[in-house]
Every structure is written in C-alpha cells, then in structure tokens.
Amino acid sequence: MSPRIQVYVLAGLLIFIGAGLTIYKNTELGFPLFPGEYRTVWTIEAKVEFIADDGPVKAALTLPRAQQNMEILDETFSSSGYGGFNTVQADNEYRAVWARRSASGTQSLFYQLDVIQTPEAALKPPLNLSLKVQKPLLDAREQEAVRLAIESLIKHAHDRSSDTKSFTTQLLTALADKHNQDRNLIFNYYKASSLVDIDLLVLAAAEIPAHRIRGLYLEDDRRRLPPEDLLEIYDGEHWVAFEPTNGLPGIPKNFFIWQRGGKSLLDVEGGSDSRVTFSVIANDIPARDVALLSTNQQKEALVDFSIYSLPIEQQSIFKLILLVPVGALVVVLLRVFVGLRTSGTFMPVLLAIAFIETHLLTGLSIFVLILVLGLWIRFYLSRLNLLLVARIAAVVVAVVILMGAISVISYKLGIQQALTITFFPMIIIAWTIERMSIVWEEDSPFEVFIQSGGSLLVAVIAWWVMTNRYIEHWTFNFPELLLALLGIILIVGNYTGYRLSELARFRQLIR
Amino acid sequence: MFHLPFFLRGRPASPLSLRRHGILGMNARNVHYIARYNARDKYPLVDDKLNTKRAAARARIPVPELITAFETQSGRQRTMEIIEPLQKFVIKPARGSGGKGILVIVGRNGDKYLKPSGAEINAVTIFRHISDIHSGLYSLGGKPDRVMIETLVDFDPVFDQYSFEGVPDVRVIVFLGFPVMAMLRCSTHTSDGKANLHQGAVGVGIDLKSGGVCHAVQHGQRIHHHPDTGVPFSDLMIPEWQKLVRLAASCFEMTGLGYLGCDIVLDNQRGPLLLEANARPGLAIQIANGAGLRTRLQHIEQLETEQLEKNLEQRVDYAMDYFSTQRATSSIKTRPEHALA
C-alpha cells in the first residue's frame, strides 16, 4: 500500500472511531451534543415518622427499584441517632432498615433520591409476582347484599367488554362512579377501605390476579404527599397497570413507581402512628452532569477511564490542554492552505492559550508591550558582548520583571485583567525576543513586523476558535473527537495544492 | 526606497492557471519531491556544512578552503590566535539555515575587521559571533552548533558589475542527477548585500544550455538592468558554465538526495566551487526564471529507467539540451523583446 493510501485509510479509521464514539456517547450515554442542554432531575424525599415506645425501635422502608421510565441517579439516607442502618434484599425488594436500641418521642427518618425521567419505555415484567387470587369470603348473611352488588358490577362490566383489559376498565370506571348504586353499597360496607382496596377486592372476586403499585406523581414543589396507588392486573399474558380513578391502562407519564406488589411500604416495630410522606422538588441540571451521574453507576468504561474520573481541579486543567490540538489544527490549516509566516511554528498556540486566560485585548497589548520592551533591552544587552545562554537568561529575567511591573502598575491603576499576565509563556517569549532581534539585524525591521504580525494573527484566530463555546464543549465532553481531528490533520498533511499566499507570490509568472 | 509587499500588488493568480504553467507549490514540493526522493538519513550530510565539505573532498568536488573548524566552545584566547593572522575570511555556522549567521570579513584596518559594507568591527564582536553560533542561535531548534572559518572566495570579475557588496552565487536544482533549473542571485543596495530575493536581491534566471541570462526579477517585477549599476543582464554570460552544471549534477552521487539545490560560486582561479547543498531548496528560482519547475520535474520522473541510470556526462548533456530556454514554451513568449535589447 502506498503511503498516500495508508494515510487515507488510517485517517478514515480514526475519523470513524472518533465520530462513532461520539455518537455512542450522545445517543446511548446521553451526553449532550450541544452546550446548554438541561434535564429535569427530580429530588424525592421520603420522610418516615412515628412515635417511639421508649424501647428498641426498628423501621423498615421499601425502596424503589431501578425502573425503565425513570433512572435513579443518587440516593442518600439520613438517620441521626440510628446506629444500625443497612439495606436488605428480600423477596425481590430492597428495604432500608433503621434500628436503635432505645428511642422515645417522635422519630423522623429520611431517605432521599434523585431521579430523571428517561424517554418512555415499557415496564419490565416483575420478576415473579404471585398470580394467586384469593376470592373474598362473603358467605355471611349480612354480606349477601354486598356479594350481590359485586356480582352485579362484574356481570355488568363483563357484558360490556371483550377481554380482561376492557373488562378491567369497565369495572374500574364503575367503581369510581359515585352515582352507581352497587358501588355505593360496597363502599358503605367497607368504610375504612380505600378505592384501591375495594378495586382489588372486586378484581379478586372476578378471579383476576391483581396487586397495587405504590408511588407518587412527580410535580414540582410538592410537600408531605401521601403515597398514591395504581393497580396492576394480569390479563393472562402480561401485567398491565391501570389508573384506578379513570380506569385507563398504562402508567401516567410522571408517575414514579416506589413499590410494585409486595407487602407493606413501611414496617415499624416499637413505635406507633407511623407514616411515610413524600416531598418532590424539580431541578434543572446540565445534561452532561446528569449523563455523568447516570453512567457513574453503570461503571461505563468509556467514562470511568476518562478525564471525568480525575479530580475537578485537574479536569479544568485538561479542559485547557484538550484545546491545544484544536490550536495545532488551526496552525496546520493556516500554514498549509494559507501559508502565513510565523515565528516559531506552534508559538501562536501558546499565545492563544495565554489569551484565553487574559482575554484578547489585554493579552494582545501585554504581549506587544513585552515584545517591544524586550527587544529594546535585548539591543542593549547585545552591546555587552554576553554569551548567548546568559543573554537569553537575562532576557527571561527582564521579561519576568516587566511582567511583575505591568501587573503592579495596572493593579494600582485599577485594571484587574492585567493580573492574569502570569499565563504568558515566559521562556518562549524570551526566545521569541532573541530570534526577533536576529531577524531585525539580519533581515529587516519589516520582516520582524511581518513575522510577529503573522504570529499574532494566527494566535488570534486560534484563540477565536478555541474560545468558541461549541469547540470547548466538544473537546471537553467528547475527547474521542481528538481521533477525528488527528485524522483530519493526516489528510491535510497530504495536501499538495497551492497555498493562498502562493497565488500572489507566483502571480508574475502567469503572463 | 520602499516597495509594497508582494501580496498587496496586483491580482492573485488562480490555482488552475498556476497548474497550467507548471508552477511547483510549497506543499507539492514537500510531499511529492522532498518526502519522496530525499531519504532522512542523508540529511545530516547536507544540513551540516562541515559534513558536506568532507564528503565533497572525498568525491573530489572543489569547495572553498576550510581554514579551521571549532567543534566545541573554545576560549577567547584560542579564537583570537586563529583570527589574528587572517585578512579575508568567512565565519559560518555549520548548521545555519537561510544564510543566517554568516559573517564575511573582506579586509583589515589595524585591529579592526572590515565587513563588505565597509563597517568596521573589532575582534570581540567576532568572538561573540562565534560563541553565538556555538550556542545554537542560528541553528534549527537552537541546538549547539559548530563553527567553520573559510577562506573568502576570490570572485570571478565577471560578476563585478552585477553584484553590490555581496556574494553572487548560482543555485542549481538537481533532480535525480539531472540539473533542471538554475539562477544567479545578485545582491543589491536595497538587499543590503544579501542574496535573499524577498529582501530585494535580483533573481536572475540562467539558461541551462548557454549560461546566459534568460530572465531577471527584483521585488517580483521583471527587470533588464541591474538596479545599482545599470548594466544590462543580457550581456552577462557565466564562464565555465558546463563545468559548473556538471559540478552541480555530481552532487547527486555525493549526497544521494534526489531533489537537491546546489549553491555554487565562481572563484577566479579555481573555477566553480560548491558552497553548500540544500535538501529543501526554495521555490523562488521559479520567479527568477519566469518558469515553473513542475513540468521539468515531471519530465524527468517519466524517463525510462535506463535513461535515469546514465552517467554524469550524458545526464548533463541531456538536461542542458532539453531544458534550454529555446525549448521552454513559457519563456519563448518573452524572448523577442529580450533579443532586441
């Protein structure tokens, strides 16, 4: 394979991998492609309250499980004074268990979790929820009327439906209808029961396996909400969730499932008047942070072995370092396609990085000031017949003193921005001054102007590209794109056409 | 005298017309010719002028005489002792690029040393210059360098009318052993005695066949007379031309580099001498000749293997004949008015 083809194959491969990883991170891991995307993160706080009986206390709260339409990002427990805290798994349920040797008075325990809604997806089938149906015993004489009412409701619903699902809808609508005589009779008999309790009872009478779903509706800024219930029935093939008040199948969009089937939500031993209430707050958080939080838990290798695993301080350094290749690309493009002359090939990139910290105008004026003063000092030094290394070291010292002086003077004058001057690469500037003074002596002051002007122009263009918010976003969030960038540089390195400057340079030859 | 920089004058050419005229661009030069025909391991031979000198001695190619070379940083005492008896000499960095760091001394005035411009400098300045070279001020990447002191070439008087203060040298581009283009660089008053075209030196295209002048350019403009002396270029005929071209072509065997620029000076007694060879010769030669390199290089590339393997004499004869100005279409158009002049 000729080197040229190798370059194209390699570059194509690099671009493909870079772009592929980027697309994967965007679609699968949810990293936003553009800056400024936000996601709503719901913070749900469950508060367990009970009055302790002056003795050993044990409280167990069923915890929500990972589910498909919601993703749990983070969970925290707070339980002051409760030494024994742990989570246990039993019967496909996770339960938080708080224990304390002795407690008295009102006790408050908190469990908090952050969730995001993921685009609608079907519920996973519960592992092995019981299909057993226990028909209610209504044989006693005084229960005759209730039994007949239930049977009438079931028959009525049965006549108006074709399958289990439509039957359930009919039944639930009837049970929610306050003008229905049969329904009112049943409700009067079971005064202490809730709507869902009665729904379950009637469904059991109709021999349909069913259980309740406990959860809550996610609405911003809600406090002390009691848990809400949905129903889930088995239609012979699937489990289907129903809204009890309107009888419609499916889980409402903003419903967060806490517990599916199973036993109680909360068990307290050694206490009374126990209850669970929920508070919900919505926060808008940058989509990237959400993606990071959610991938953290899955231990995604692409994220786990990336710069995100570094401490924040190092990350912000990397944010800058990752921009260097972009600057290098700008230099390559300007050199290969335009043909700009600069002093020191990649010196403009270092300048551009300094400009990012100092802001453009401050940076430019400081650089020009240092260059002019430095050249002036260098011309004096050249008359002292010093050795080169000593002379450059002297220029370095002079540059540092100049930078210090500029900082102090501008601070006294109230120009805060000039304090960021420390970001200038001192040694590079000293070398630049040395080379420029040679160019001045051997070529011409005009050549110095051309070269430093070229360097500054490239630096400003590189700065402009590197501070673009899209570029910043892409380099930091999709470092894989560096591979694509490498591919582009390889391809550009193969360009054999004319440079823009050559169109002018060889103009005279076309006559 | 102030000249507008080249990029502010006139309309730029289109890439297509440049291609039609066979102009070689910098990118194409780097990728197609330097990267393809110049092996990296051969670079040290030409990048270090001391190495070039030794190789030339082995290949029996005449070069300016080396007086001494400082391999390492030497003390002031020793440097002074060496310089003291010399009248005319040139100090060069072994790995300098673009003619940087070359100090020419043309005579003495007591303790003082005379530069071509007439300026006088003292021994300490020379010592500092040598020490700068050692420290790598003029070498690529600032690497420590070696210093060489050469005898000053006793220039052939034929150039007296065509060069101001400076060193007229002939650059010949040699491709796979075939000389393909040649130019003479004449320093002027504006170029301050330097032979760099972009500083205002005159680039004179030399006809490969005859050694006569076919085209001359200063500041990108065609000229017919030397700007300082007013002597017409059409009168100039480079002596010992055949010998000079043969010397350039023989550098192919000496260096092993396929794409090569040879800088040659004419000594009054010794004839053509190789100053240095360059593995990355610039493209200004096209401007001086008013012709593109690309078509010429492509012609050599498509030659049969047996033609490429011919000996030095045959190669030089073939190239001098084939690339003579009379044949090159782009120059023929400009020929008649020149002939009248």
What is the average pLDDT score of chain B? 84
- Listed residue (A249, A261, A271, A439) closest to A343, CA to CA: A439
pLDDT in tens, chain A (511 residues): 788 899 999 999 999 999 998 898 888 777 888 887 777 888 888 888 888 888 888 888 888 876 666 777 777 887 777 766 777 777 667 788 888 888 888 888 888 888 887 765 555 555 566 677 777 777 677 678 888 888 888 888 888 888 888 888 888 888 888 888 888 888 888 877 788 888 888 888 888 888 888 888 888 777 888 888 888 888 777 788 888 888 888 878 788 888 877 677 888 888 888 888 888 888 877 777 777 777 665 656 666 667 777 777 777 778 888 899 999 999 999 999 998 878 778 888 888 988 888 788 888 888 888 889 888 988 888 777 777 778 888 888 888 888 888 888 888 887 766 666 666 777 778 878 888 887 887 777 888 888 888 889 999 999 999 999 899 888 888 888 999 999 999 999 989 899 998 888 888 887 6
What is the separation, in whole angstroms, between the first and last Cα of chain B? 26
| Position B330 confidence tier, pLDDT thresholds 50, 70, 90 | very low
- Report CB contact under 8 Å: A509, B5: no
- The shortest CB-CB distance from A496 to any of B32, B196, B291 is to B32
Sort strands B259-267 and B221-222 into parallel, antiparallel or unpaired: unpaired
- A chain contacts of residue B12, beta-carbon cutoff 8 Å: 500, 503-504, 507
Sort strands B202-206 and B213-218 into parallel, antiparallel or unpaired: antiparallel
Q: Which of A402-411, B201-210, B259-268, B276-285 has the lowest mean pLDDT?
A: A402-411
- Report CB contact under 8 Å: A388, B290: no
- B chain contacts of residue A388, beta-carbon cutoff 8 Å: 131-132, 134-137
- Report CB contact under 8 Å: B135, A387: yes
Instruction: Report the gap between the CA of A386 and the closest CA in chain B (Å).
Output: 7
Token pair of A87 as six digits: 């989570």
- The shortest CB-CB distance from B17 to any of A389, A494, A510 is to A510
Question: What integer is the mean pLDDT of B298-309?
Answer: 87
- The shortest CB-CB distance from A498 to any of B25, B134, B217 is to B25
- Predicted local distance difference test score (pLDDT) of residue B341: 33
Give the Cα separation of B111 and B127 in Å (integer): 14
| Position B335 confidence tier, pLDDT thresholds 50, 70, 90 | very low
Instruction: Report the gap between the CA of B61 and the closest CA in chain A (Å).
Output: 30
Give the Cα separation of A213 and A231 in Å (integer): 6
Which of B19, B21, B26, B92 is the best substitution to test chain A (most A C-beta atoms within 10 A)? B26
Q: Judge contact between B181 and B214, C-beta under 8 A.
A: no
- Predicted local distance difference test score (pLDDT) of residue A171: 85
Give the Cα separation of B81 and A104 in Å (integer): 103
Q: Outline where A122-266 has alpha helix (H).
A: 144-159, 164-176, 181-189, 195-205
- Predicted local distance difference test score (pLDDT) of residue B154: 85
Instruction: Report the gap between the CA of A37 and the closest CA in chain B (Å).
Output: 42
Give the Cα separation of A403 and A367 in Å (integer): 10
Whole-angstrom CA distances from A177 to A153, A157, A210, A427 are 12, 13, 21, 84
Token pair of A207 as six digits: 């021999």
Q: Given the structure tokens 């008087």, which residue do they identify?
A: B157
- Report CB contact under 8 Å: A501, B136: no
Sort strands A93-117 and A222-225 into parallel, antiparallel or unpaired: unpaired
A-B contacts at Cβ under 8 angstroms: 107
- Listed residue (A256, A199, A202) closest to A225, CA to CA: A256
ipTM > 0.85 (yes/no): no
Residues 6 or more apart whose CB falls under 8 angstroms from that of A454 comprise A340, A341, A342, A343
- Report CB contact under 8 Å: B23, A387: no
- B chain contacts of residue A386, beta-carbon cutoff 8 Å: 128
- The shortest CB-CB distance from A444 to any of B124, B199, B330 is to B199
Token pair of B315 as six digits: 């190669």
A83: left (phi over 0), alpha (psi -120 to 50) or beta: alpha
Give the Cα separation of B65 and B51 in Å (integer): 14
- B chain contacts of residue A500, beta-carbon cutoff 8 Å: 12
- Report CB contact under 8 Å: A389, B135: yes
Give the Cα separation of A411 and B29 in Å (integer): 51
| Identity at A430, one-letter amino acid code | A
- B chain contacts of residue A503, beta-carbon cutoff 8 Å: 12-15, 18
Token pair of A344 as six digits: 């020191």
Which one is predicted more confidently, B173 or A340?
Answer: B173
Which of A4, A432, A433, A506 is the best substitution to test chain B (most B C-beta atoms within 10 A)? A506
Half-sphere exposure of A111 (CA within 13 A, CB side): 21
Q: Three-state SS for B268?
A: coil
- Predicted local distance difference test score (pLDDT) of residue B340: 36
Phi and psi torsions of A450, nearest 5°: -60, -50
Which one is predicted more confidently, A227 or B56?
Answer: B56
pLDDT above 80 (res B281): yes
Instruction: Report the gap between the CA of B313 and the closest CA in chain A (Å).
Output: 32
A449 contact B CB<8A? no
Token pair of A212 as six digits: 């309740």
- Predicted local distance difference test score (pLDDT) of residue B333: 40
Instruction: Report the gap between the CA of A336 and the closest CA in chain B (Å).
Output: 7
Q: Would you call A409 exposed, middle or buried from its count of C-beta atoms within 10 A (0-12, 13-18, 19+)? A: exposed
- The shortest CB-CB distance from B290 to any of A386, A389, A509 is to A509
The residue extents of the domains of chain A are 40-132+212-299, 139-208, 316-478
Q: What is the largest CA-CA distance in chain B?
A: 61
Q: Would you call A178 exposed, middle or buried from its count of C-beta atoms within 10 A (0-12, 13-18, 19+)? A: exposed
Give the Cα separation of B84 and B86 in Å (integer): 6
- Predicted local distance difference test score (pLDDT) of residue A194: 81
Q: Which string of b and e fits A58-82 if b means at least 16 CB within 10 Å?
A: ebbbbbbbebebbbbbeeebebeeb
- Listed residue (B240, B281, B244) closest to B97, CA to CA: B281
Sort strands A271-286 and A266-269 into parallel, antiparallel or unpaired: unpaired
C-alpha A138, offset from chain centre: 55
Q: Judge contact between B47 and B53, C-beta under 8 A.
A: no
Residue A444: closest C-alpha in chain B? B199
Which one is predicted more confidently, B161 or B51?
Answer: B51
Residue B125: closest C-alpha in chain A? A385
Token pair of B223 as six digits: 């000229």
DSSP B24: P
- Predicted local distance difference test score (pLDDT) of residue A125: 55
Q: Given the structure tokens 């994220």, which residue do they identify?
A: A303
Give the Cα separation of A470 and A459 in Å (integer): 19
- Report CB contact under 8 Å: A503, B18: yes
Residue by residue, DSSP assigns A251-300 as: --TTEEEEEESSS-SEEEESEEEEEEEEEEEEEEEEHHHHHHHHHHHHT-
- Predicted local distance difference test score (pLDDT) of residue B336: 40
| Position B227 confidence tier, pLDDT thresholds 50, 70, 90 | confident
**Bridge partners (DSSP) listed for residue B276:** B263
